[in-house]
Amino acid sequence: MRSSCSVIIAASASAVAESQPSDANACRLLVRTVDRKLIEEVIPPRLRKKIDRFSQVSLLAIRELQSQFSDVEKNRVGVFIGNDFAGWNYVYQQTVQMIETRDPMQIDPYVATAWFPAAAQGEITIAHGILGESKTFSAGYLGGGLALEYAARMVEAHALDVAIAGGVEAPDAPVVLQAMAIEQRISAEHPAAEAVGLLALSSSEKDGLARMTISRPRRSAEAALNDVAEKLEGATKIRYHSASVCPHKQDWNQTLSQTETLLRARFGVRLETSVPAWSGMDVGSADFSLSVVEATRSAADGIHALVLGTDFEGLHMAAAITPIAGGAF
């Protein structure tokens, strides 16, 4: 099998709001955060103190998907999350204190469960009593793509009835922002952003928003595209959702323009490029899944959509998001 098919039954994306750059910290220019009020409305203060922001925004996003699995047997539901930078917002200051004082008591008892990338998966399953197989993936911008691919494989094989999948990033910690800035993937003009995109997948077309055909992780954009291309045959218009990367990152921009050239050659005038809502921001692991969320909206409007993603290290994935009406599954 070169791809996995599933039905998207719900999609959820976080709201990204600009933070004020006035708190005298240069790092503020490099990051945009989700409106705290939204999080305060849904997560009780006691839980907020125990978990990192990447888990908080994940819990925020999953609320919109809750109705899709609330009546499903919980061992038939699984959660698949992409995350690359873990929970340094929670841990950074404590780590600095610990190193300064060489005192382990500077580390609070929740660090052990707040920081690691699988924390969001754990918090979601516990908050919603989800009991089925669940996994977390790290692959740069493609973490959400790997999560969606494995989730689709699980529902296609009927190992799960509903799979929640996507990516999340909350890199608001000085050390992570600096790491991203040194690599030139973020700048004041192209800051990092807290972001999450989650989708609910099912094998049943009932109440489906769109079909998702997702490629295997491949070593070229062309190979990934070939896995899903037949799902786009006959479409009069193909809306292409690409990643958004910093203009200073020349090699990455070159990779993206090569991909676009490939698509133009393949689809000609049928291709329409879509500027993402988070254009100008680095959403990390959430990139691929946020594109799928937007593509789901396109498909719900009857437009065939194509998502292509890469980790810029050599891994590529493609997803064809197509309208439910018409065409064989």
Q: Is 64 exposed, middle or buried (0-12, 13-18, 19+ CB in 10 A)?
A: middle
> Stretches 119-127, 249-257, 258-266, 290-298: which one binds another protein (CB under 8 A)?
119-127
Binding range to another protein, per CB under 8 A, among 32-40, 63-71, 90-98, 257-265: 90-98
Q: Considering the rule CB under 8 A, would residue 87 count as an interface residue with another protein?
A: no
User: Quick one: 237 or 255, whose CB is closer to another protein?
Assistant: 255
**Sole binder of another protein in the list 37, 46, 158, 206 (CB under 8 A):** 158
Q: How many residues of this chain bind another protein (CB under 8 A)?
A: 81
CA dist., res. 184 & res. 312, Å (int): 13
* Cβ count near 325 (within 10 Å): 9
Using the minimum distance from each CB to another protein, give the nearer residue, 286 or 303: 286
Q: Residue 171 Cβ, how far from another protein at the closest point, in Å?
A: 9
- Give the nearest distance from C-beta 32 to another protein in angstroms: 19
Sheet holding 210-215, edge to edge: 77-82, 162-169, 195-202, 3-13, 210-215, 316-322, 304-310, 238-241, 271-274
The stretch among 20-28, 97-105, 205-213, 228-236 that binds another protein (CB under 8 A) is 97-105
3-class secondary structure, 185:
coil
The residue within the footprint of another protein, chosen from 66, 113, 220, 255 (CB under 8 A), is: 113
Token pair of 103 as six digits: 């005192």
CA neighbor of 81 nearest in space, from 47, 54, 103? 54
* 88 near another protein, judged by CB under 8 A: yes
* Residue 143 touches another protein, criterion: CB under 8 A: yes
We find the least distance from the C-beta atom of residue 230 to another protein, in angstroms, to be 15
Would you count residue 54 as binding another protein (CB under 8 A)? no
Rg over CA atoms, the chain? 19
Contact 195, 166 (CB under 8 A): no
